[in-house]
Amino acid sequence: MSKDNHIEPEQLFKLWGNHRYFPISQFYKNQFNEKVYKVSVSIAETCPNRQENSRMPLCIFCDEWGSAAYHLERDKSLQQQIIINREKISKRYRAKKFLVYFQSYTNTFDRVSELEQRFDIALNEDAIVGIVLGTRPDCLPSRILPLLKKTHETHYVMVELGLQSFFDHHLTFLQRGHDVARGYEAIKKLHEQTGVDIGIHLIFGLPDETDKEIIETAHILNKLPISNVKLHNLHVLKNTPLAELYKKGQFQACELEDYIKKVTLFLQHLSPDIAVQRLTAVASRWDELIAPQWTKDKMRPTQMIEDHLKESGIYQGQLVCD
């Protein structure tokens, strides 16, 4: 759908599977004509910030597993991880098609030949219809782009960029080790040289974050050649630099009510053409979570955001100007 074509909100909600925002599940359904689920694997073992002798500090929020969903399986082969996780998802959702999601650490940090082998293994597995690759904006060397382009010619490929913020002062606080300019550069390279779908990870709940910044973030995204966005609230995990700040009283986690307001504001200004992967972070390792406790809950925060959108008559793209 194009934002140039006027469409009534009720029609939009129907197209979005009765949601008030464009969920990624519907985006995949539009692409593949049926439900498609991500099978997360944990293969990459490091990133620029964590590599031996790195002078860069760790990202302030990152635990030792580098954002892996299934860190306990990381000693298993790629094929085993795909089989195990595909089976779980298949049983839970009766799913038939899957994307292999290379999630943890920085997946474009290894040699291209290794990445190519991993793609081959993944794409040769039953019912796998594509690849989703998580990486950082400053880890897309030119040598990797032809592989992404070639793979995209035969299969679905999405690159998820951990950009986290479109404001340099927030990236500095997060200790990302890259600036916003690297983010724009990565999006341009991916779009022009590979044609893959691009997803952007964002963090809300940053210190001194303003409504103006949230609105501006949506406006920036609306002009970029990206297909989706994934939202996280900044949360404190044990053994992270953020945990130290939290202990000293130098960081306060965003309360759920405030976070709901931020997401709502963002969605109102986000183009209805951009799919939303996730509305909040979920802390899957409860023993590691320090704050906020609501991040433990998988369903409730998302449901509360959905309820708030409905009760307030708010929906994605509501305040987007042509």
Q: Interface with ligand SF4 by CB under 6 A: which residues?
A: 47, 49-50, 58-59, 62, 66-67, 105-106, 136
Minimal distance in Å, beta carbon 109 to ligand SF4? 9
Q: Transcribe 239-257 into DSSP letters.
A: TSHHHHHHHTT---PPPHH
- Give the list of residues 6+ apart from residue 244 with CB closer than 8 angstroms, or none: none
Q: Which is nearer to ligand SF4, 54 or 312 (CB)?
A: 54
Q: How far apart are CA 242 and CA 250, in angstroms?
A: 9
Q: Transcribe 29-84 into DSSP letters.
A: HHHHSS-EEEEEE------TTTSTT--SPPPTT--TTTT-SSGGGTTS-HHHHHHH
Minimal distance in Å, beta carbon 263 to ligand SF4? 21
Minimal distance in Å, beta carbon 44 to ligand SF4? 8
Q: Which is nearer to ligand SF4, 162 or 301 (CB)?
A: 162
Q: Which is nearer to ligand SF4, 58 or 304 (CB)?
A: 58
Q: ∠ at Cα 114 (69, 108), nearest 5°?
A: 55
Answer whether 310's CB lies under 8 Å from 255's CB.
Answer: no
Residue where the block lists tokens 């997803």: 199
Q: Which is nearer to ligand SF4, 16 or 105 (CB)?
A: 105
In a 10 Å sphere around its CB, with 0-12 CB exposed, 13-18 middle and 19+ buried, how is residue 183 labelled? buried
Minimal distance in Å, beta carbon 143 to ligand SF4? 20
Q: Which is nearer to ligand SF4, 66 or 301 (CB)?
A: 66
Q: Which is nearer to ligand SF4, 100 or 163 (CB)?
A: 163
Q: Which is nearer to ligand SF4, 85 or 106 (CB)?
A: 106
Minimal distance in Å, beta carbon 269 to ligand SF4? 26
Element (H, E) at 5: none
Minimal distance in Å, beta carbon 47 to ligand SF4? 3
SS3 percent helix, strand, coil of the chain, rounded to 5, is: 40, 15, 40
Minimal distance in Å, beta carbon 19 to ligand SF4? 29
- For residue 292, whether the previous peptide bond is cis, meaning omega lies within 30 degrees of 0, is yes
Q: How far apart are CA 234 and CA 71, in angstroms?
A: 20
